[in-house]
Chain A
Amino acid sequence: MHPQRVVITGVGLTCPLGNDLPTFRKALLEGKSGVVNFPVRNMGEQAAGVCEFDKSKYQNRKEIRVGTRAGGIGIYCAHEALENAGLELDKLNPSRIGVYLGITEHGNVETETEVCQLVDHYDEDVKYWTHHHNPRTVANNPAGEITVNLGLTGPHYTIGAACAAGNAGIIQGVQMLRLGECDHALAGGVSESIRAFGIFAGFKSQGALAAHDDPTKASRPFDTDRNGIVVSEGGCVYVLERLEDALARNSNIIAEIVGYRINSDGTDYVLPNPERQEECIRQALANAELTPSDVDLVSTHATSTPQGDEQECKAVRNVFGEGSGTLINNTKSFIGHSMGAAGAIELAGNLPSFNDGIAHATINLDNLDPNCHLPGLVVNHPQKKDGGINVILNNSFGMLGINSVLLLKKFKG
């Protein structure tokens, strides 16, 4: 028995290259970097991906003050996604809308800020600790803020899946629609990660934080001189619906989600496992009843770390070897690593290729590391694919060896 078909009917996003998909896509095709220098507590200026969306478009000043950055990003993206999907909230049953957001982590930004204030200004006297701490730091906060802002009364939670979380949020939405838990899923991922120093310092101590005189060149997956991750914030929320519902209301169908897989390396907290990544890719293809040669475009996870990129290339090369015709690209080279939002944002940047048949590149690739050779890698400039792009495979891998792969097809009716 085949599972119910699920489609994407709306997308809302904010990322370092724009606050809507057309702007983001245009910048990707132009090869622009969205990475800038950003002041980080205790660490001076660091290369980072920063979002500049209009916070007050969907929140008043008090809501912005009381809530979190991640919540604000989620709220912006959710509103934009609903509008993009042509859905008016007052015509929907709010108890039938679910919110499923992937996050790498939540609560660090708030906690770090409060602890630093307490130590620096208040002599560690906890009577100065904010009563907002708990609602701001519970892990469901970003999804919960969406429900409070929009008056939604269906299920909401976040999915903690490290850097695989963006895909995981989408997968959760698909599953909940198939279970009948909701009729519309607001699904994707968010990241506020640049607002805490801990993540930067953690990567730095690990030898995995990018450094470059020019921040726009700091994220350089597959390049011999790559030296680490650029941390970014961002968000992307999709409206997902069961196909029959989307057709019934004559909606614009952006893509169909045809397969997925999440698995675990089961080996190391930090070092990726290319065998398990390859297994995840193959299992996702089997789930979609597709073969490697059906895939027109692979969006790689590659974060610009010396080890991680090489391991993913092994996995991808084993599946999409010479002559497969599959094009391969990378979005982190443009916007850095948007953590919980990464899988969702990176997918969004590729979805317009269903219409224009163009694969955006991976940029900042001056000298390809031979260990990162990938047949079909789109280097520095976009490439049009003969026959168009009809199937996209989206990789996202994370710490503690979590792997996620999503497969999407152009919807033709």
Chain B
Amino acid sequence: MTKEKIEQIVLDIIAEIAPDEDLSDVKPEVRLRDQLDLDSMDFLDIVMELRKQHSIDVPEAEYRELESLESCGNYLLPKFEAVAAA
């Protein structure tokens, strides 16, 4: 698992959650909410899909770690590795 693969996983989840959005030019270092029309319920959907599809739990206190693709990659890499090791 790599940070780039995680960024793509998150983008795939966003494609399911916000199917009308154009995701072709999403900048990894920019806040997702500044580039896409995503509200707080959408972010909860991202958290839920990470849980359902990848068995990854993101505690509420750490939701801000998901604010950009880059921060998702940094934050989720150890979590993906922990799931793979389990």
Q: Report A's interface with B, CB cutoff 8 A.
A: 60-62, 65-66, 127-128, 130-132
**Alpha-carbon distance A132/B57, docked complex (angstroms):** 18
16 contacts between A and B (CB under 8 A): A60-B20, A61-B19, A61-B20, A62-B17, A62-B19, A62-B20, A65-B19, A66-B41, A127-B57, A128-B48, A128-B52, A131-B41, A131-B44, A131-B45, A131-B48, A132-B41
A66 (CB) vs chain B CBs: closest residue: B41
Taking A61-B19, A127-B57, A131-B41 as known contacts, 10 extra A-B pairs with beta carbons closer than 8 A to each other, sorted by chain A number, are A60-B19, A61-B20, A62-B17, A62-B18, A62-B20, A65-B17, A65-B19, A128-B48, A128-B52, A132-B41
Find chain B residues with CB under 8 A from A61 CB: 19-20
**Alpha-carbon distance A62/B44, docked complex (angstroms):** 14
In the complex, B5 has a CB within 8 A of chain A? no
In the complex, B64 has a CB within 8 A of chain A? no
Contact with A along B9-39 (1 / 0, CB 8 A): 0000000011110000000000000000000
Query: What distance in Å separates the Cβ of B45 from its nearest Cβ neighbour in chain A?
Result: 8
Question: Which of the four size classes fits the interface of chain B?
Answer: 10 to 19
Query: What distance in Å separates the Cβ of B25 from its nearest Cβ neighbour in chain A?
Result: 19
B20 (CB) vs chain A CBs: closest residue: A60
Query: What distance in Å separates the Cβ of A79 from its nearest Cβ neighbour in chain B?
Result: 18
In the complex, B51 has a CB within 8 A of chain A? yes
Find chain B residues with CB under 8 A from A62 CB: 17-20
**Alpha-carbon distance A387/B54, docked complex (angstroms):** 70
Q: In the complex the two chains form, is A130's CB within 8 Å of B48's CB?
A: yes
Q: In the complex the two chains form, is A128's CB within 8 Å of B51's CB?
A: yes
**Alpha-carbon distance A65/B17, docked complex (angstroms):** 8
Q: Is the interface of A mostly helix, strand, loop or mixed?
A: helix
Query: What distance in Å separates the Cβ of A221 from its nearest Cβ neighbour in chain B?
Result: 43
A61 (CB) vs chain B CBs: closest residue: B19
Contact with A along B42-80 (1 / 0, CB 8 A): 001100100110000100000000000000000000000
Find chain A residues with CB under 8 A from B52 CB: 128
**Alpha-carbon distance A66/B45, docked complex (angstroms):** 10
Query: What distance in Å separates the Cβ of B38 from its nearest Cβ neighbour in chain A?
Result: 10
Query: What distance in Å separates the Cβ of B56 from its nearest Cβ neighbour in chain A?
Result: 12
**Alpha-carbon distance A15/B41, docked complex (angstroms):** 32
Query: What distance in Å separates the Cβ of A121 from its nearest Cβ neighbour in chain B?
Result: 9
**Alpha-carbon distance A128/B50, docked complex (angstroms):** 11
**Alpha-carbon distance A62/B17, docked complex (angstroms):** 7
Query: What distance in Å separates the Cβ of B11 from its nearest Cβ neighbour in chain A?
Result: 16
A135 (CB) vs chain B CBs: closest residue: B41
Find chain A residues with CB under 8 A from B48 CB: 128, 130-131
**Alpha-carbon distance A56/B52, docked complex (angstroms):** 27
**Alpha-carbon distance A127/B51, docked complex (angstroms):** 9
Find chain B residues with CB under 8 A from A132 CB: 41
Query: What distance in Å separates the Cβ of A119 from its nearest Cβ neighbour in chain B?
Result: 15
Find chain A residues with CB under 8 A from B20 CB: 60-62
A131 (CB) vs chain B CBs: closest residue: B44
**Alpha-carbon distance A316/B85, docked complex (angstroms):** 73
**Alpha-carbon distance A66/B40, docked complex (angstroms):** 13
B18 (CB) vs chain A CBs: closest residue: A62
Find chain A residues with CB under 8 A from B57 CB: 127
Find chain B residues with CB under 8 A from A131 CB: 41, 44-45, 48
Find chain B residues with CB under 8 A from A130 CB: 48
**Alpha-carbon distance A66/B51, docked complex (angstroms):** 19
Find chain A residues with CB under 8 A from B19 CB: 60-62, 65
Query: What distance in Å separates the Cβ of B51 from its nearest Cβ neighbour in chain A?
Result: 7
Give the most central of B17, B20, B44, B57: most A CB within 10 Å.
B20
**Alpha-carbon distance A127/B18, docked complex (angstroms):** 22
Query: What distance in Å separates the Cβ of B67 from its nearest Cβ neighbour in chain A?
Result: 18
**Alpha-carbon distance A61/B45, docked complex (angstroms):** 15
